[in-house]
Amino acid sequence: MSALPKYGSIQECVEDFIKYRDTTRVLSALREYLNQRIFGRLIGVEHTFKLEDGTGITPDLTLAYENDSACCFIELKWRISQSSIKNELLDLKRYFNARQSLNGSSQKVTHNDIIMICHINDSNVVIDAVNELAGTPDVGFLKQEGVAIWSWYLGIPKGADTDANPEMRFGWLYGKTRNLELEKKIRMPGGIVIPASIAFSPTDRYLFTKDKPPVHYAMAFLLQHILSSFQDSTHRSQVIPLSLGMVDELYEKSKIFFPGWRDAESETIQARKEWIREAVDLIIQLKIKVSVPLPRTRKTIQQVLCARLERLRQKSRGAGPRVRKLRVRPDTMSAKLSTWFNSKT
């Protein structure tokens, strides 16, 4: 039985869903932005490089420049906590020290850049950790040229309607890359701006990054995008029987939404199947009737799932049903109590 996610509130659960969803948009938008060949040659998304020691690195995005003699690795982090940030920063050293020829090029890579991009809300956690680690001998590479940290956020364009799709903005936080064109752009007032037409393009978009999503995000993905394909064309509405035995079939229908799915290694495929298995298990635990089409509700799917997961968590802890307090305005309290008392006598 899959473990229930732990959140301090339903709102925190919803925010994690939105944060991961928007990070997938960042990945897709950055791919389009970097593919303009202004900054170099985009190698790919989640392209794995084998290193001399036999291990591999899989950055979210890889950009080659200076005639393929230099490489820029980009790592997207949808969530960073105080407990994880130090390990995240230490792991960047593997990218920084990688030296090899790029696929399709005979030119040997002479130097690498690594850019970590985090959500703007995590900026303080990241910079505090960098300042703390910068004096440590093992992480001296953080002070070297070629290591940079950016932030991203979504904002409504100036003068646009409040219900317009936001544009995507990237800002400089720390360090410097050796890609002069990219460095010039990020240092401009306002940073790098990707318009809403690209950031929210409905076509050719990834719905996952390489990092594990919140389980309720995977649940919503299956309910909204995958399970509808099981509908019998002869019926307008039907309930789909869901079981853990369907995980392999669900992955086959889902894999095109994962970046780098064509070249994914067996370990990556198994990890993604586990994400789906956990999501299916919790859909079953919540006793959600998977019907096509999904029933309409005033709330968003993330609000519904987060609320139901919280109720299941309370139930698993033995908490009783939540009792609503009767709120009565002071000036009518006496009248209401009198009416109630008279009805009982």
Residue 194 has pLDDT above 80, yes or no: yes
Residue 191 has pLDDT above 90, yes or no: yes
Report residue 324's pLDDT band, with 50, 70 and 90 as the boundaries: very low
Residue 337 has pLDDT above 60, yes or no: no
Sheet strands (E) in the chain: 41-45, 49-50, 56-57, 61-65, 70-77, 111-119, 147-155, 167-175, 192-194, 238-239, 291-292
Dist CA 288 CA 290 (whole Å): 6
> What does the mean pLDDT of the chain come to?
84
Which of 7-16, 137-146, 190-199, 213-222 shows the lowest mean pLDDT across its residues? 137-146
What is the pTM (predicted TM-score) of this model? 0.85
One-letter amino acid at 24 equals: T
The pLDDT of residue 278: 97
What mean pLDDT is predicted for residues 151-157?
91
Write out pLDDT tens, residues 17-65: 999 999 999 999 999 999 988 999 999 899 888 777 777 889 999 999 9
What mean pLDDT is predicted for residues 304-310?
94
Dist CA 182 CA 39 (whole Å): 6
The pLDDT of residue 100: 63
Residue 335 has pLDDT above 70, yes or no: no
Say if CB 211 and CB 253 are below 8 A apart.
no
Residue 104 has pLDDT above 60, yes or no: no
Residue 101 has pLDDT above 60, yes or no: no
The pLDDT of residue 233: 54
Domain ranges of the chain: 21-199, 215-316
Residue 308 has pLDDT above 90, yes or no: yes
The pLDDT of residue 94: 85
What are phi and psi for residue 219, nearest 5 degrees? -65, -45
Distance set, CA 294 to CA 202, 224, 237, 281, 284 (Å): 21, 8, 9, 19, 16
Say if CB 148 and CB 113 are below 8 A apart.
yes
